[in-house]
Amino acid sequence: MRLAQVLFSQGFGSRRDCAGLIGAGLVRVAGEVVDDPHAEFDAEGLVFEVQGRAWPFHAKALVLLNKPSGYECSQKPRHHPSVLSLLPPPLRTRGLQPVGRLDEDTTGLLLLTDDGGLIHKLTSPKHHVPKVYEVGVKHPITDEQLASLRTGVVLDDDPLPVRAAACERSGEHALQLTLTEGKYHQVKRMLAAVGNRVETLHRSRMGELTIDAQLQPGQWRWIDSTEREVLLSRGTPAG
């Protein structure tokens, strides 16, 4: 693939912008400046640098963001900045979208991708990727509440009960809840249905993925192809 096309596909602006960056000597491959936009490279596995920052080529982008509180998952946020504003311009240009949504005040693991098929697979009700939430609640969590969350509670928009795949007390006012589906405000509504109230909500795990200790709130990292495969296989349809 031509170097200008590589940059264009990775979100570095219009074709003209990309040719301009290359012509200005701002792009390196294997440590060497390449100033010919027509230079050909094998894109698969290519790592190039733009203005000193290394970019691995990804035909489709998939990243993990440690979402801070105070950001909306919407592309057109109404009251708070969008999580997309935490990504560098090339990823925004590529049109990454959150895989499902976390509320503005929810923190933790959020995947974003420009792979529409992957969004569809991971958010499909058939695809049971377990999502683990650390929940802080207003009232002490009781055994009865934990039991109801495990056996199933009825939410206002559906007569069928929804249940936690797992649910453990982690403190007087704290529990860890695992869901394999993702209804609107599901954790908050489930806790409200058992007579409690969510005060803090953090997603700590999705399938095998967790947030690495060094990834601070607001920071992101690439998901590699092995992690992607595991994520997809972990959530194989349950019939």
Task: Say if CB 96 and CB 87 are below 8 A apart.
Answer: yes
Cα distances from 234 to residues 28, 66, 71, 129, 136, in angstroms, run: 38, 21, 28, 7, 27
Closest to ligand URA by CB, 18 vs 102, is 102
Provide the 8-state DSSP code for 93: H
C-beta of 6: minimal distance to ligand URA in Å? 36
Cβ proximity to ligand URA, 5 vs 186, nearer residue: 186
**Catalytic-role residue among 42, 103, 114, 143:** 103
Task: For the CB of residue 138, give the shortest distance to ligand URA in the complex, in Å.
Answer: 14
Q: Return residues touching ligand URA (CB under 6 A).
A: 102-103, 106, 185-188, 201
Distance between CA atoms of residues 32 and 34, nearest Å: 6
The yes-or-no answer on residue 103 being catalytic is yes
Choose between 7 and 102: whose C-beta lies nearer to ligand URA.
102
Q: Closer to ligand URA by CB, 44 or 156: give it.
A: 156
Residues 6+ apart with CB under 8 A from 177: 132, 133, 135, 149, 164, 166, 167, 187, 190
Measured from the CB of residue 21, what is the shortest distance to ligand URA in angstroms?
A: 38
- Measured from the CB of residue 81, what is the shortest distance to ligand URA in angstroms? 16
Residue with tokens 């219009």: 14
Provide Rg for the chain, Cα atoms: 21
- The residues annotated as belonging to the active site are 103
